[in-house]
Amino acid sequence: MQQRPLGRTDLRVSRICLGTMTFGEQNTEGEAHEQLDRAVERGVNFLDAAELYPIPPKAETQGRTEAYIASWLRARGNRDRMVIATKVVGRSTSTWFRADGSEPRLDRRNVVEAVEGSLRRLGIDCIDLYQIHWPDRPTTGFGSVPTRWTTPEAALDEVAIEETAAVFQDLVRDGKIRHAGLSNESAWGTMRWLTLADAGRAPRMASIQNAYNLLNRTFETAQAEIAVREGVGLLAYSPLAQGYLTGKYAGGALPVGSRKALFDRLQRYEKHGTAEAVDAYVALAREFGLAPATFANAFVLAQDFVTASIIGATTMAQLDECLAAEDVEWTAEMQDAVDGVHQRVGNPAP
């Protein structure tokens, strides 16, 4: 599998990253290990987790995903061959993340407690890529790349980026993390972090993990140029728009065991115009003789501002369809066809 530089660091990561947010909820520990084995067999060396996982977030399961990764690393003895990424939650009203039951913020106390917890659950001494799951400041949307601007109400106790940056610098100095990354961040937030890094007040962000898929190409509007010129490549999450781009929900279908059937949390991909867009992209995939999941992932991999596409699955068959994108030769004809649909349907699910 092709590998790409992680930002301006000395790390090289597979261009497919295995997302793990189903581990501990939809997938058992044994199933998680099976997925990890298959991914590594296909050349994946990059895993993405979070203190939040599994999804949906619940007090009784929080942190289980990292524990499943830890048991696999111990069993396989391959820590030195894997790049492990995880995340600290941003501003939240959920009180089960911290020992004292307080609401998480991105201040020193919270970040230090979070990183120590992830290190303990993962069973490792250093996290390769430690990411801020979402900003402390209120933003216009979870993805922080809205197509329409609405000024969010400011928080009186907002933790400044400068304060969080100082903590991350100390974590790098102390050897708790190797590199830092952003997630669900805007162009402004990304450049603010880079400005602090240039001034020696923050570690340089190696990556940004935002949603990017055929239904949501808003990253291209302002952030793709930052990714290319500043070396802060995109780790694209939801390349299948939480399963919608497989076509399995077409016509109102509700497959047994699907995330929508289990949790009904897919409203981000159920906005006006999404059904039409999904149908168009699924039809396009079939015209090119590819499974819709493989086609949608191959599109993401082909974009030059993408460092890695974060795939996720609950079955081995789904995992194989996603991994098959590595073998697709993305052509100019495919890109033109995708761009033609995008010109008509835009970004219905930012």
Active site residues: 53
Six-digit token string for 292: 């819709």
| Angle, helix 64-76 to helix 29-41, in steps of 10 degrees | 60
Contacts of 1 (CB under 8 A, 6+ apart): 14, 15, 16, 42, 43, 44, 326
Q: Give the burial string for 120-152 (b: 16+ CB within 10 Å, else e).
A: ebbebebbbbbbbbbbbbebbbebbbeeeeeee
Count CB neighbours of 248 within 10 A: 17
Over its C-alpha atoms, the chain yields an Rg (Å, rounded) of 19
Query: Would you state the structure tokens that stand for residue 25, as one six-digit string?
Result: 């909820």
